[in-house]
Structure 1
Amino acid sequence: MALDFKGRVAIVTGAGGGLGRQHALALAARGARVLVNDLGGAVNGELAAGAQGAAQKVVDEIRAAGGEAIASVASVTDFAAVQAMVQQAVDAWGGVDILVNNAGILRDKSFSKMELADFRLVLDVHLMGAVHCSKAVWPLMVERKHGRIVMTTSSSGLYGNFGQANYGAAKMALVGLMQTLAIEGEKHNIRVNCLAPTAVTRMTEDLFPPDMLQSFGPEAVVPAMLVLASDDAPTRTVLCAGAGGFEAAHITLTQGVHVGMGPDAPERLAARLAQVLDRAGEMVPGSGTAQGANEMRLAREGK
């Protein structure tokens, strides 16, 4: 059955180019009315002369194809501006059903050489930007008993990447944000997921061999976003996507062992660390309480 977004209102941040542009175009092509948000900054977040027209260009593309769209140049780091952006969508179309948190910047350097200001700014755009946007749409989604929020995480957050301590920390933080918002949103039919894309954009184009540039175009990631934003979306899911391939990433908990307490507990743990790390029978916890429940089980079994 075709994924249909007719009647839905979507906000896509960082949608003036790259992945965000493809997300906005795809949602609009399937019937959604789309607020295209982009501050117009460079990859490092600095504003360039005339760049604030990026969002409007995408709006013009959508309208030329027969879709409905409006532009916003709000900075996701400014909560008041984000609230005004959400109100813009409400005034135009009555509400917000879908939020794709895609806005991001890079300030790559090895941790030893990285300025703290660059660390904070990347966290501010990726993490707090998603917090601001999610916070602004949350009451609307609760009232409607319907909402789909897609966070953009990254393999750099899930698994690490040299020179991206700030970016990786922000991207993994979005997974933690997703975990709790999905739990809190479940009773309101608000489903919250993460997308981990591998794609050639202006942020990543130097990382790909020439023969793979076309395969890893941002449009290849779009199917995962559409599934995560759809009426039948899962929740608390991390979907990875690139070049037509799709995987799921999980944060798991091993079965563990009980070594007890006492002065020699560190030595006993060290001796049995391989057992603790053994992934046989590992699980994906339903919530953070699962860790404590598992440790309770181990303690009872150890008595």
Structure 2
Amino acid sequence: MAIRLENQVALVTGAGTGLGRAHALELAKHGATVIVNDIDSHSNESTQPTAAALVVAEIEATGGRAAVAYCDVSDETAVQEMVARIISDFGRVDILINNAGILRDKSFGKSNLADFRRVLEVHVMGSVNCSHAVWSQMLTQGYGRILMTTSASGIYGNFGQANYGTAKSAVVGLMNVLAIEGESKNIRVNALAPTAATQMTEDLLKTEDLVKLAPEHVSPGAVFMVSPQAPTKTILAAGAGVFATARMEESTGVFLPMENLSAEDVAENWDRISDMSSTVRTESAFEQTHRYIAKVDSGSDSRGALL
């Protein structure tokens, strides 16, 4: 199943180094025109090319097409202007990979809340700003692929990463809603949960593990998740050539009669309520609500019934 991205324009945020760079190179390999976004850290006196410019040069050297788009993704106005320039220059935006991110790791009790807000601004509002900026164009053209970058820290938690975990969980919520709202317009929205050796993780892992966790071993999964064949509303976990999907599930549930319902009733039925041996997958909040109401209306016995 060949993945062809010719005539598609892909915007990758935070693409000067690490995962973003690897994503950009992999997209170009499949024929996409790649817009390499990063913060412009270039001083006025420097004659050296920026990291983003080096990625563009690397793509062009292999016959690909690419351009730099400097922008802080947490700046809504700057993002809108960046996307407007891309559409003016290239006519469309087919793919957005929200990759830009920062780390400010510290145990919660020692956290600086200014750092906490900054992490949310970059990861969450950066993803919101970029997705919102391309959304109307994708609606108009009847096609779009958006990939959020989540993390195992957001899905499962990780010591010292309250700010990062909060942000990475939030973008899964954004994915869930945008996937529902974009489905009828052929806009598919997914999330990538990468485990990779980057500037953000190089001090946390052994050298031999860093080699296994090269970003290049994640990016093929990212490209599939923004391809015409992509699923939607799906989390792809990836690292060291290992790929898996992660999702939220519920236990099947127990109905407790509402007359005189008490906390003690919940406690007495906790083993059954929390039994995950059989689960249900829920496509939307309304679907969950309708499932609950249907069980009540069906007339459950007074002992509490599985939903």
Q: Is the 8 A contact 2:40 2:71 kept in 1?
A: no
Out of 117, 125, 136, the residue aligned to residue 128 of structure 1 is 125
Aligned-pair Cα RMSD in Å: 1.7
Counterpart check, 1:224 vs 2:221? yes
Measured in 2, the distance between the counterparts of 1:263 and 1:109 equals 45
Structure 1 match to 2:262:
265
Q: Following TM superposition, by how much is the alpha carbon of 1:294 offset from its aligned partner in structure 2, in angstroms? A: 2.7
Unaligned runs of 5+ in 2: 302-307
Letter in 2 for 1:4: R
Contact 1:52-1:73 within 8 A present in 2 as well: no
Instruction: For residues 3-49 of structure 1, give each alpha carbon's deviation from its aligned partner in whole angstroms, at most 9, with x where no partner exists.
Output: 111110000000000000000011111111011000156xxxxx9x9
The corresponding residue for 1:151 is 148
Are 2:5 and 1:5 aligned? yes
Residue 20 (structure 1) aligned with residue 17 (structure 2): no
More off after superposition, 271-280 vs 192-201: 271-280
What is the aligned-residue identity percentage? 50
- Give the aligned partner of residue 33 of structure 1: 33
For residues 38-84 of structure 1, the C-alpha deviation after alignment (integer angstroms, 9 at most, x for no partner) is 0156xxxxx9x969812111111111111111101111011111111
The answer to whether the 8 A contact 1:40-1:52 is kept is no
Do the aligned residues in 1 keep the contact of 2:20 with 2:99 (CA within 8 Å)?
Answer: yes
Q: Do the aligned partners of 1:19 and 1:201 also contact (CA within 8 Å) in 2?
A: yes
TM-score, structure 2 as length reference = 0.93
1:200-239 equivalent positions in 2, closer than 5 A: 200-239=197-236
Residues matched between the structures, number:
297
Distance 1:52 1:155 in 2: 34
CA shift in 2, pair 1:11/1:164, >3 Å: same
Indicate whether 1:108 and 2:105 are aligned: yes
After TM superposition, which residue ranges in structure 1, 4 or more long, deviate above 4 angstroms?
A: 49-52
Deviation, structure 1 residue 263? 4.9
SS in 2 for 1:206: coil
User: What CA distance in whole angstroms lies between the structure 1 residues aligned with 2:110 and 2:249?
Assistant: 33
* Structure 2 CA distance for aligned equivalents of residues 73 and 192 of structure 1: 24
In 2, distance between residues paired with 1:279 and 1:62? Answer: 47
CA deviation string 1:235-274 (max 9, x = no partner): 0000000011111001112111012335562001011111
- Relative to the length of structure 1, the TM-score reads 0.94
Q: Any conservation in 2 of the 1:255–1:294 contact (CA below 8 Å)?
A: no
The match for 2:300 is 302
- In 1: Cα distance, 2:21 partner to 2:256 partner: 53
